[in-house]
Structure 1
Amino acid sequence: MYCSIATVGSGRNGSEASWKCVKGCLVPVFVNVNQTSFQCTGFNLAQKWERTEGVFKYTFPGAGPFEVEYSSGAWIAEVGGGSWTLKTIVDLRDRSDTGAPNHSPIIPSKPVYFIKYGCTGDIVLPTIDEDNDNVTCRWSVGNECSSICHHNGYAQVATLNEETCTLTISANLKINDSYAVAITIEDRPKTSITIGGSPYAAGTVISSVPLQFILVTPDMPSRN
């Protein structure tokens, strides 16, 4: 692990991942080749995870929309391995209601969630949308989630309320089991608007943001 007490808040040279423009660009191209560093923002040695953040700039050949994805890496063995796939949309066209490009939802989620084995609990995913759009959540599908799609049997202990972005976990399958969770968050205008001259009726999806994390069901001691 890179992160430690000494490195939290500090930078490290290099990029974290290879994000590629796969649709809308003239040819598939990596968009973060100029990223020079990333920063450690949190870690947990006992739980074996760390969180880093990085910023990069790229000039797209127009207003879009463009499809950008990161497809590589490997999931931990506890969830069966498999490759990463994260996909998002870059759309630089202006909205008619704000006069500026759309702001995609922000989801300040944790990398690992714990629900005690034998219990049922809710995980409410906090969502923020600067344009005050309606935000909904759904299970990721296809190349949004690669080897950990819910419809392929992953995270079978979880059910999702799409309107409230709430996961209900019934941790009753296996003690100390681990599950990979892949969810896509989407924003929808409350009234009809246009984006770059294209009409978007109320409730139409504007943008999609990927969210993936680990769910663990430990056998923790009960409180008396």
Structure 2
Amino acid sequence: MSQPLLLLLLVCSSQASHFYGTVMTYYPKNTNADGSVTVVIRYKLNFHNCGFNSWTCLSGNCGSETSVQGTVDEESSIWCQTERISTRLVPSNAPFGLVFASNSWISNTKNNIVNWRAVTLVELRNRSDTGQANTSPQTTILPAVRVPSNCQRDFNLLAFDPDGDEVRCRYGNDTSPLNECNPCTPPSVLSLSSSCSLSFSPTISSNEGPYAVQLVMEDFPRQTINLTQTSGSQEEKTTIDAISKIPVQFALRGKISCFDSLDLWLIFTE
């Protein structure tokens, strides 16, 4: 049974030790006369308690950073979601990578995820179809998701791409050159379509509990394009080549009892 995503999300009130997930998006702001680029990066971090956390450079020249951080919402001693707005000045429009990695995820995840690792690939080269720098897909997450474990639930992740690209989702890959998570074991109770639709299957009581969901969202051009760097070099991207990628990670908990969507909405808004 398909339901709007917001009607199915419920903040998890179970005890947790640390990390609940993250999401990042970016958009270019200015290209300067010397070829340098200003890019604005926004990311949300979900933890057991509020605190200061930041991403670090993984690959390429990540430039210099100024940032501000604020608390989006929190439930004392249960969870806290913060959002950080980072402005980076990079020397050129060459792609670069950012990483957020440490330990530990919420305790006792059923898919045995302990350490967290999330990776973003920032692509700023000019596109031949728009004449502008690429912008990542836009999405968001809540601190935690809870679904009734004895009911089928299908829902779509919210996703939008400012460049008009096709947005696709997949599970993270820990054998890729950038190691997108550590490890990337998907939840056994979830199936994911490339269109960013998640399906939760009814499960037995022994599978109830928290899961770490570690997804990657990517943008694909709808026709073959060229990406041009400040130096003049070009790279072709076809409809099967991802342009950029962002992480979408969150905690999911299956719990017995089957509510209808109205019940879940009322509980969430109390």
Q: 1:212 to 1:222 in 2, by over 3 A?
A: closer
Shift of 1:201: 1.6
- For residues 180-210 of structure 1, give each alpha carbon's deviation from its aligned partner in whole angstroms, at most 9, with x where no partner exists: 1001011101011111132112232111110
Shift of 1:135: 0.7
1:19 to 55, 68, 74: 55
2:137 to 96, 101, 105: 105
Query: Gaps spanning 5+ residues in structure 2: where?
Result: 1-49, 229-233, 261-270
1: CA distance, partners of 2:169 / 2:64: 26
1:40 to 64, 68, 71: 71
- Correspondence 1:1-224 to 2 at 5 A: 16-25=52-61, 32=65, 34-35=66-67, 37-45=68-76, 48-79=78-109, 80=112, 82-142=114-174, 143-147=179-183, 149-150=184-185, 154-162=186-194, 164-174=195-205, 176-196=208-228, 197-220=234-257
Shift of 1:58: 2.2
1: CA distance, partners of 2:134 / 2:152: 37
Higher strand share: 2
2: CA distance, partners of 1:166 / 1:81: 22
2: CA distance, partners of 1:62 / 1:85: 26
Aligned partner of 2:15 in structure 1 is none
Instruction: Read off the aligned partner of 2:134 and give its amino acid letter.
Output: N
The count of aligned residue pairs is 200
- For residues 201-222 of structure 1, give each alpha carbon's deviation from its aligned partner in whole angstroms, at most 9, with x where no partner exists: 2232111110100111122375
1: CA distance, partners of 2:253 / 2:211: 6
1: CA distance, partners of 2:224 / 2:70: 40
Deviates more, 1:187-196 or 1:68-77: 68-77
- For residues 61-110 of structure 1, give each alpha carbon's deviation from its aligned partner in whole angstroms, at most 9, with x where no partner exists: 32211111111231111325622111011222111111111111011222
Give the RMSD, CA atoms, in angstroms. 2.5
2: CA distance, partners of 1:62 / 1:222: 52
2: CA distance, partners of 1:99 / 1:20: 29
Task: Tell me the SS of whatever aligns to 1:144.
Answer: coil
Instruction: Read off the aligned partner of 2:196 and give its amino acid letter.
Output: C
1: CA distance, partners of 2:87 / 2:149: 44
Question: TM-score scaled to structure 2, two decimals?
Answer: 0.67
Q: 1:215 to 1:195 in 2, by over 3 A?
A: same
Give % identity. 29
2: CA distance, partners of 1:221 / 1:199: 49
Instruction: Read off the aligned partner of 1:159 and give its amino acid letter.
Output: S
Q: 1:15 to 1:78 in 2, by over 3 A?
A: closer
